[in-house]
Chain A
Amino acid sequence: MTPDAKIETLLEMQGIEHVFGRREDWVDKGVRLIRGKRTAPARVRALNGVDLTLGKGEVLGIAGESGCGKSTLGRAMVGLMHPTGGSVTYRGQPVMRGRRPLHLKLQMIFQDSGSVLNPRLRVKELIGEGPILHGLLARRDLEDFVADQLETVGMAPDVMNRYPHQFSGGQRQRINVARVLALRPETIVCDESVAALDVSIQAQILNLFMDLKDRFGLTYAFISHDLGVLRHISDRIMVMYLGRVVEEGPAAEVFANPRHPYTRALLENAPRLSRRNQIFQAVPGEVPSPLNMPSGCAFHTRCALRRPECSLSVPNLMGTGAHRHACPIVEAAA
Chain B
Amino acid sequence: MTSTPLARPTMRFSERPLGRFWREYSQSHAAVFGLVMTLILIAVAFLAPLIAPQDPYDLMQVDFMDSELPPGAIGGAGQTYVLGTDANGRDMLSALLFGLRASFMVALSSLGIALVFGTLMGLVSAYAGRWVDSLIMRIVDIQMSFPTILVAMMLMVTFGRGIDKTIFALAVVQWAYFARNVRASALVERSREYVLAAQLAQVPTFRILWRHILPNCLPPLMVIASIQLASAVSIEASLSFLGLGMPVTQPSLGMLISNGFGYLLGGKYWISVAPGIALGLTVFSLSLMSDRLRDMFNPRLKR
B215 within 8 A of A: yes
Q: State whether B15 touches A130 (Cβ < 8 A).
A: no
A120 in contact with B215 (CB, 8 Å): yes
The proximity string for A residues 78-110 relative to B, scoring 1 for CB distances below 8 Å and 0 otherwise, is 111000000000000000000011001011101
Residues of chain B in range 194-219 having any CB-CB distance to chain A below 8 Å? 194, 196-205, 207, 211-212, 215-216
- B192 is an interface residue with CB less than 8 A from chain A: yes
Say whether A304 faces chain B, with CB atoms less than 8 Å apart.
no
Q: Are B199 and A80 in contact (CB under 8 A)?
A: yes
Interface presence of B50 (CB below 8 A): no
- 0 or 1 for each of A113-126: is its CB under 8 Å from B? (1 = yes): 11111111100000
In the bound complex, do residue A119 and residue B202 qualify as a contact, i.e. CB atoms below 8 Å apart?
A: no
A 140-174 contacts with B by CB, 8 A: 155-156, 158-159, 163, 165-168, 171
Cβ–Cβ contact A179 & B197, under 8 A? yes
Q: A113-B193, A119-B14, A120-B216 are in contact. Are A156 and B203 (CB under 8 A)?
A: no
Q: How far is the CA of A179 from the CA of B3 in the complex (A)?
A: 20
User: Given known contacts A156-B2, A167-B4, is B197 in contact with A119 (CB within 8 Å)?
Assistant: no
CB distance from B17 to the nearest CB of A (A): 10
The one of A106, A118, A158, A165 in contact with B194, judged by C-beta atoms closer than 8 angstroms, is A118
* A129 within 8 A of partner (CB): yes
Quick check: B12 and A165 within 8 Å, CB to CB? yes
Interface residue B10 (Cβ < 8 Å from any Cβ of A): yes
Within the complex, which residue of B10, B15, B192, B197 is in contact with A108, where a contact is CB–CB below 8 Å? Answer: B197
- The minimal Cβ–Cβ distance linking B181 to chain A, given in whole angstroms, is 18
Taking a contact as CB atoms closer than 8 A, the residue among B1, B194, B216 that contacts A116 in the complex is: B194
B4 cross-chain contacts in A, Cβ below 8 A: 155-156, 159, 167, 171
Contact of B7 among A108, A119, A168, A179 (CB under 8 A): A168
Tell me the B4-34 residues at the A interface (CB within 8 Å): 4, 6-7, 9-10, 12, 14-15
Report the bound CA distance from A154 to B207 in whole Å.
30
The answer to whether A119 and B15 have CB atoms under 8 Å apart is: yes
State whether A107 touches B200 (Cβ < 8 A): yes
In Å, the complex CA distance between A212 and B156 comes to 66
- Tell me which of A117, A118, A119 contacts B12 (CB under 8 A): A119
Does A133 reach chain B (CB closer than 8 Å)? yes
Size of the B side of the interface (Cβ < 8 Å), in residues, is: 29
- Closest CB of chain B to A80's CB: distance in Å? 6
Contacts of B12 in A (CB 8 A): 114, 119, 165
Which of A130, A166, A168 is the one whose CB lies under 8 Å from B201?
Answer: A130
Q: Which residues of A contact B2 (CB under 8 A)?
A: 156, 158-159
Contacts of A167 in B (CB 8 A): 4, 6-7
Q: Which residue of A lies closest to B204 (CB)?
A: A133
CA of A80 to CA of B211 in the docked complex: distance in angstroms? 20
Residue of B nearest to A125 (CB): B211
Task: Give, as a whole number of angstroms, the nearest-CB distance from B182 to chain A.
Answer: 16
| Across-interface contacts of B200 in A (CB, < 8 A) | 78-80, 101, 104, 106-108
Interface centre among B12, B14, B196, B205 (most CB of A within 10 A): B196
- Among B3, B6, B202, the one with the most A-chain Cβ atoms within 10 Å of its Cβ is B202
Check: A134 CB closer than 8 A to any chain B CB: yes
Please measure, in the bound complex, the distance between the C-alpha atom of A111 and the C-alpha atom of B194, giving whole angstroms: 11
Give a binary string over B129-172; 1 marks a CB under 8 Å from any A CB, 0 the rest.
00000000000000000000000000000000000000000000
A133 pairs with B203, CB closer than 8 A: yes
Asked whether, in the complex, the Cβ of A163 is within 8 Å of the Cβ of B193, the reply is: no
When distances are taken between beta carbons in the complex, the residues of chain B under 8 Å from A119 are 10, 12, 14-15, 216
24 CB-based A-B contacts, threshold 8 Å? A79-B200, A100-B205, A111-B193, A113-B193, A115-B192, A115-B193, A115-B194, A116-B194, A117-B194, A119-B12, A119-B15, A119-B216, A120-B212, A129-B203, A130-B201, A133-B207, A158-B1, A158-B2, A165-B12, A166-B6, A166-B9, A168-B7, A171-B4, A176-B197
- Known A104-B201, A104-B202; 10 more pairs at CB < 8 Å: A80-B199, A100-B205, A116-B193, A119-B216, A120-B215, A130-B202, A156-B4, A159-B2, A166-B9, A171-B7
The 5 closest A-B pairs by CB, nearest first: A130-B201, A168-B7, A110-B193, A165-B10, A115-B192
